[in-house]
Amino acid sequence: MKYFLVTLLIVIISLGLWIGSAIFGDNTIEEKNAELESMVASSTENRPRVLEPFTGYGTLASLKDYAASIECSITYKASQVEPPIEGTYFIHDGNVRGDFIVPAPELGAQVVTSIISDETTFYVWTDIDGESFGTKTPIANSESLAAQEPVPREAKVQYACKAWTQIDGSIFEPPAQVMFQNQATMLEGGMEDGTIE
């Protein structure tokens, strides 16, 4: 009789655990995991993935639609009479870095202009005769941004892109040796912020 009661107790406990896991436990967790995976997949399924190099003609803004880190060579021609601007454009985790060779006829040369854009701030700086000059602007201030971009984000460019596999996140950090003026403060005729090494 004692053996029967122990066996019955084990069967009841096992049955209770099985019913409990079916109602509250593993199925719910599995369902939540499946739902989460589905949400992640649907958020990126409409974004093209980069497996092979690709070329095209479109905006810099459209390149942020790719669901991978990419490195692009770009050529921008504002008009038929102006010389082209050429450069390299990197995109990774919502951050953008561009380095452009910009014709500067007034200087009788070309200058290198670089940009970094993250979620909140747009940085642009130019190297002229070994000196760097830069500004920073909140992303929300789109009117100021358009005036500072060496290649407008919404302008059409020729591009050749590939997956960026050797990612160096440090290129998205503004250089410490450039003194960035705050665009809003600069317009008011005031302060500089940043450091010079």
Please write the tens of the pLDDT for every residue from 105-122. 888 888 999 999 988 899
Residue 2 host element (H or E): helix 2-23
Dihedral in degrees, nearest 10, Cα atoms 165, 168, 174, 177: -130
Pairwise CA distance, residues 92 & 159, whole Å: 17
The amino acid that residue 190 corresponds to is G
Tokens 């599995």 sit on residue = 30
Q: What is the DSSP letter of 91?
A: E
- Please identify every stretch of the chain with a pLDDT value under 50, giving residue numbers as ranges: 1-27, 29, 32-33, 36-37, 39-44, 190-193, 195-197
Q: Provide the pLDDT for residue 53.
A: 92
The pTM is what? Answer: 0.67
CA separation for the pair 61, 67 (Å, rounded): 13
Q: How far apart are CA 59 and CA 62, in angstroms?
A: 5
